[in-house]
Structure 1
Amino acid sequence: MDCVALFMLLFLPGLHWTAAEETSWTYTGMVGQSEWSEHYPECGGTSQSPVDVVTTQTKYDPALTPLTPLGYSQHGNQPFTLYNNGHTAVIELPDWMSLGGLPWLFSAVQMHLHWGNGGPSYGGSEHTINGQSAEAELHVLHYNSELYPNMSAAMTQRDGLAVLGILIVTGEETNPAFNNIINYLSRIRHANQKVFIPAFDVQSLLPEDLGRYYRYNGSLTTPPCYQSVIWSLFNERVQISKAQLLKMETILFSSKAGDPDRMLLQDNYRATQPLNHRAVFASFTAESGKELTSGEVTAIVIGIMCGCVGLAVIVRFIIKTIRFFTLLHHETVAVNRWHSSPTRTRLALINCVVCNIPFWIEKCL
């Protein structure tokens, strides 16, 4: 990677641009979200991100094949860099990690997180689905290395960037993969602090199902809001524990270490933006239902098999019961005729009963 690209990596905050900033932006306050467009004109563009994905209005596109992380799990021995840029926690990625399944090859740049404040108000993710937020969101940023020489050249081009969006929800179980990041946040508590952390399998942060996602053209979610991003928002959520989320929400500061007033780094997510007639495509159909794990598929198959066996046993029991009562009925009729018939007929009835052929009784008679 050349010097210009390396410079960009060190100072591009999340999906942010700080190297050329003239104004220090924030999520709230004097230069908050509502004022971004005054200082960064593209933030007022018609193809901004994030967006609310209304699933009933998405369009199925069979050409959207499963995304293919290349080299995500082959992290090598070189450590990753974890960096607090005052807006989020950034993990810089080696450019030999890349993403397939797109029209071009995209090389990895970095990944970062967005979260809320741990309060009663629900929110933290940038994208929403059917108006519902998740507790946090992970973004993995790539640049089009097939068409452009570096990140700085690609980020202003309409087909220059590709970002994976992963919605994060909470549960009771700890997610070990996210501890590769969360356990080191205490070392970068203040803005501009940086630390080396052990490399890990980046793919372990992603959902298991990489084939079900939403695709649309959008922008960086922070200034300068370049409208150059091909977004892929996964349908499957990733789960972390409540304790992991709480640590993420309360441990970092947006202020520098020497600042007299320390400010917690919270609510670092942008509000959803208008679609403005943009299409949101889906790689799957609504009729396909929710995704099933291999365990769920196995359980369904076993359940169907057990149901079929149970049904066969019940049918067999019913048939045998009908045959039993039919035999009993014919034998009762035969006995009644025995008492009301002459000696010759009685002998015939005895032969029929002994032979266990009740349905021939009439012929015997």
Structure 2
Amino acid sequence: MLEVSRKQAMAYRVARHGLHRDFADPVASPLFDLGLQDSMRDTALLALSARSSSPVEPTSLVDDPHVVLVWSHRGAPHFHRRAALRELVTSLIPLDDADALARMLWQKKEIGATGVPASEVLFTAARAIRKVVTQPMSKGAVSAAATRELPPEYSRWCRPCNTTHIQEQLMRLATLHGGVRLEADQSPATLAPLEDRGRMRTSPDAAAVSRVVRGYLVANGPATQGDAAGFVGTAKTALSAAWPDDLVEVKVDGRRAFLPADQVAALENPPTPSVVRLLPPLDPFTQARDKAVLVPDKARAKEVWKILGSPGALLVDGELMGVWRTRGSGKRLAFTVTAFDPLRAADRAAAEEEASRAAAARGYADLSVTWA
């Protein structure tokens, strides 16, 4: 059995995530194989900037006809290649009712209480959303219209909204199956019909799910079945039928994990991760589920992954060495960077250059960097 150190695994991941900036066109790079998660803090744009060999424009993702924003993995908004959308939709079809219920995450109890198989609940909601979204509509308007089309047990009373509407996670999981996307760079969230909806598909495809799992292991391996399930947003047991068959077992500092066989050579001899990057919250690199591998120190891990409002992460030579936040005021973006350990002057200068790239990507003409 192959055994590698955690440091070696981290170097492999830095390379696989494109953080050496080897790709002139990040949209065509493996970065988009699993999609790029987004939030209103421009997280997808900043993740793109951290990997692009050239400056990234503020509208790079919004204006790019090759990508589309949808609710996908775990019901979270991701930019995906438009050409790969059909394959993506197929991969998001639950393998069975247990898988469908597991994907409801924090709302499993409510969906289970309907007494209806979770797959049936999912596709009933998808048909309702498909019916009501015929033009761009706010999320609230879609929710209200879909709720009227659905059995009452699919909905709940929402105190903040002071109304009854479809369960949130159910809506997020059902929307893409209903042929509906998100409008990029819109607040509040706006939904619109996909340009080429096609016929709604409901038949499970274990091979399609397996390709997502394999993609996760390529980018974030060596990793476990539980790690991959966490990314997909389902239970570990639900992935048994979709677990790839071309994997090799690898021990990372004694931890049993797996990697696609064709990635072993890259793991054995990864390039030196001598890069400094400011990774935004929700960056694909920090979205790996084995947080103890990324940041073994528990106190530091709590700083990187906050329950609410996680900061960005400072990557230095293959290690997450600090966190950073921003505050915008007019045309100026202020960065506050907190390093866990003292850094070399060259690393601080490189981090400040990364801040300059990030500010430009977000459309700020000026910036300041404060080291806390």
TM class by shorter chain equals: under 0.3
* TM-score scaled by length of structure 1: 0.22
Give 1 or 2 for the bigger CA radius of gyration: 1
